[in-house]
Structure 1
Amino acid sequence: MEFSSSLTLLNSKTPFLLEKRILLLEAILEHGSISKAAKAVPMSYKSAWDAINSINNLCDNTVVLRETGGIGGGGASITEYGKNLIQSYTILQKEHTKFLEKLTTLTDFNSGNLKSLQRFTMQISARNQILAKIEAINIDKVNANIVLKTKSNQRLVSSISKNSIENLVLEKNKEVLAIFKSNNVMISTNNVKGFSARNKIKGLINKLTFSEVSCEVNILINDTDVITSVITTEAAKELELKIGQEVYAIIKSSDIMIGN
């Protein structure tokens, strides 16, 4: 896996130098004309003028000196300050490229370390987000059943639309996230037979958190994954749930979303 990125500098969280704007400045320096520079980038003549206005407004000193012309546009030149700006960006871009090349040689992207860091940034309401690998994709006329294998060596089945397979670029052996809400996880103290839900995962309760109306149940799966279920306090008392108890987490396949 190779890393690539264009350089963006931020000033008060606002993009200040963008690659296309630098290309525009370089083209003006070469052609001495805004219209010719716009064609070289390429961008519309209006976009070029807007970009120049923005650049001149954002910088402490004038970057582009313009001389209005007729239909074909006018002449333009880059000030010494502007030339220094281009040179500074070029140096930063080269160092940025070196950094990415170094990162590629130092980091084993396929080990999943950086993928894991990326997943930390996900902010969604569903409490359960479990890493899994696609084991099989079974498609019918309308829907598809995605068979997942988690790192706790459990199998989950997710029912999604056929369009979602294409949109998410799903394929066998791809790592994805199985995502489901805690209130969609039912709990049984035995392996229920003849139940319609496709997913029945055995584990041990390692945490119970009670409130007046609800109980949050954390179920540890093979000392690896944790599935969280929220049920009513009344239901938890009827099941006589306790820490260390063996239970089954039951989830409908239609309640499991896929993320990547």
Structure 2
Amino acid sequence: MPISSNLTLEILNQPFLLEKRIELLMAIKKTGSINKAAKEVPMSYKGAWEAIEAMNNLSTTPIVLRETGGAGGGGTTLTKYGENLLETYFLLKEEQKKFIENLNRITDLNTGTLKTIRRLSMQISARNQIIGVVDNISLGAVNAEIEIKLKSGNSIVSIITNSSVENLGLKIGDEVVAVIKSSNVLLSTQSDLKLSARNSLKGTIEDISLGAVNAEVVINIGDKDKIVAVVTANSISNMKLEVGTKVDAIIKASDIMIGR
């Protein structure tokens, strides 16, 4: 028994963007005519107009404009705001699809196995949660190496089990979240060090929060990607770390978890 769901966006507790209305907006964009769009959906001309009026009335910015007269005899077009709404809706629809696929993977309604759903809403304590795209998957006998391309242009490698790859349904091109505990991030001011750790991300210290024993260091690695490391207060002093210092954030591949 698979799980499925439609996507509806509301304004002031009123249905605003429903899938039928999205189909209508797409048809208007394609045909430039309410009459032709209504036939494509299909729905009545009156129903199409009522849907457009409802959307325009609920929205603070018009979504559909109707032009009368002119050389071409007028027509109906989406505003820039209307086109942006369509794009946003389809982005949300894609995320909803991933969520439903995940629900179907971990849930068996026929046997009543629903307890694992709690995993989807869990809050985790790891400070570093960085979004990236799976660039490569190398399967081994037991473990797999997952290469993730970050929006900053950096790549990181995570080692997880082959069964985890299967359970997550990972494929090249999937958007994932790399989860890293701040205590597993090492810092170095020497870029030429030879290390066994697979991941070394160059960045600039953006903030340091000193405590009595430990310090939290925020490193900007580019394009709003940031890594947080927790080191001892003595290390801050010994390494002469301060805001603006160039450092390498070093992370073992086995210390990077992957979420979807």
TM bucket (normalised to shorter chain) is: 0.5 to 0.7
C-alpha deviation, 1:181, in angstroms:
0.4
SS at match of 2:18: helix
Q: Does 1:169 align with 2:88?
A: no
Q: Which runs of 4+ in 1 moved over 4 A?
A: 95-98, 109-116
Residue 21 of structure 2: which of 102, 105, 114 is its match? 102
Give a deviation string over 1:166-212, Cα, whole Å, max 9, x none: 10000001100010100000000011432111000000001000000
Counterpart Cα distance in 2 of 1:250 and 1:112: 34
SS at match of 1:153: coil
SS at match of 2:254: helix
Counterpart Cα distance in 2 of 1:184 and 1:109: 38
Instruction: Check conservation: 1:4, 1:100, Cα contact below 8 A.
Output: no
Q: 1:154 to 1:98 in 2, by over 3 A?
A: closer
Instruction: Check conservation: 2:128, 2:228, Cα contact below 8 A.
Output: yes
Which amino acid counterpart does residue 239 of structure 2 have in structure 1?
L
Give structure 1 stretches of 5+ with no counterpart: 8-94
Counterpart Cα distance in 2 of 1:173 and 1:103: 27
Residue 253 of structure 2 corresponds to which residue in structure 1? Answer: 253
Give a deviation string over 1:46-91, Cα, whole Å, max 9, x none: xxxxxxxxxxxxxxxxxxxxxxxxxxxxxxxxxxxxxxxxxxxxxx
Q: Does 1:211 align with 2:130?
A: no
C-alpha deviation, 1:237, in angstroms:
1.0
C-alpha deviation, 1:115, in angstroms:
4.5
Residue 226 of structure 1 corresponds to which residue in structure 2? Answer: 226
CA RMSD after TM alignment: 3.0
Which amino acid counterpart does residue 184 of structure 1 have in structure 2?
N
Residue 194 of structure 1 corresponds to which residue in structure 2? Answer: 194
Q: 1:214 to 1:115 in 2, by over 3 A?
A: farther
Alignment of 1:39-188 (within 5 A): 99-102=18-21, 106-108=86-88, 111=91, 115=95, 123-188=123-188
Residue 112 of structure 2 corresponds to which residue in structure 1? Answer: none
Give structure 2 stretches of 5+ with no counterpart: 9-13, 27-85, 100-120
Counterpart Cα distance in 2 of 1:114 and 1:122: 21
Q: 1:191 to 1:103 in 2, by over 3 A?
A: farther
Instruction: Check conservation: 1:203, 1:246, Cα contact below 8 A.
Output: yes
Residue 4 of structure 1 corresponds to which residue in structure 2? Answer: 5
SS at match of 1:183: helix
C-alpha deviation, 1:235, in angstroms:
1.1
The TM-score, its normalising length taken from structure 1, stands at 0.58
The TM-score, its normalising length taken from structure 2, stands at 0.58
